[in-house]
Amino acid sequence: MVQITPEERAGVIRCLVEEMEYGTSDIAMAAGVSPAAVSQWHSGRNAPTADKLERLYQSLGEAMERCLPEPPICQLDIAQAINIIAKALRSKTRREHVIKELSELLPSLRLEPAYTVTMEYIVLHSLRGSSPHTWSSTTISAACCTSS
């Protein structure tokens, strides 16, 4: 269960008043408190208790859903998301889709070469005893994403 701070609880009330355009008397009636208590919550001098937020949630449903803070993302969530993206990157079609989606989410993301292999490197490598490789292009590059 995620605990929200008194500042976040007061922020829910500010959201209901300022963004969802509920009146203090409407909020007071839904929470079972006086309009003066709601005014204190709205100003940040006080914060609603969990039971008052629960009553508001039962009465105002979707508006409360919009005003509640996002739950924090944990390391496990991040690891799972990266694992899913890594699996998607194995397919060229999915890789292009992932890069496109990330580019839209992160406009500063740009493609840059991660490495470049030139024919000179291949020849030098083959002279050192490695098996020679032939490619039709003189330069091979792989794209990588960076953020500026």
H/E segment holding residue 141: strand 139-147
pLDDT in tens, 12-55: 999 999 999 999 999 999 999 999 999 999 999 999 999 999 99
User: Tokens in use for 131?
Assistant: 């098996």
Q: Answer yes or no: do 114 and 148 share one domain.
A: yes
- The answer to the question of residue 1 being in a domain is no
Instruction: State the total domains in the chain.
Output: 3
62 plus 16 within the same structural domain: yes
Q: What is the pLDDT of residues 60-98, one digit of tens each?
A: 999 999 999 988 788 888 888 888 888 888 888 888 888
Asked whether residue 63 falls in the same domain as residue 20, the answer is yes
Residue 63 belongs to some domain of the structure: yes
Looking at the structure, do residues 96 and 126 belong to the same domain, yes or no? no
Domain span at residue 20 reads 6-67
| The pLDDT of residue 106 | 81
pLDDT confidence of residue 119 = 65
Distance CA 78, CA 74 (A): 7
Is 100 in the same domain as 114? no
Which tokens is 103 given? 């580019």
Three-state SS at 34 = coil
126 and 92 both lie in a single domain: no
Nearest to 15 by CA among 68, 72, 71, 70: 68
Instruction: Single out the residue of 14, 15, 50 nearest to residue 31, CA to CA.
Output: 50
Q: How confident is the model at residue 135 (pLDDT cuts 50, 70, 90)?
A: very low
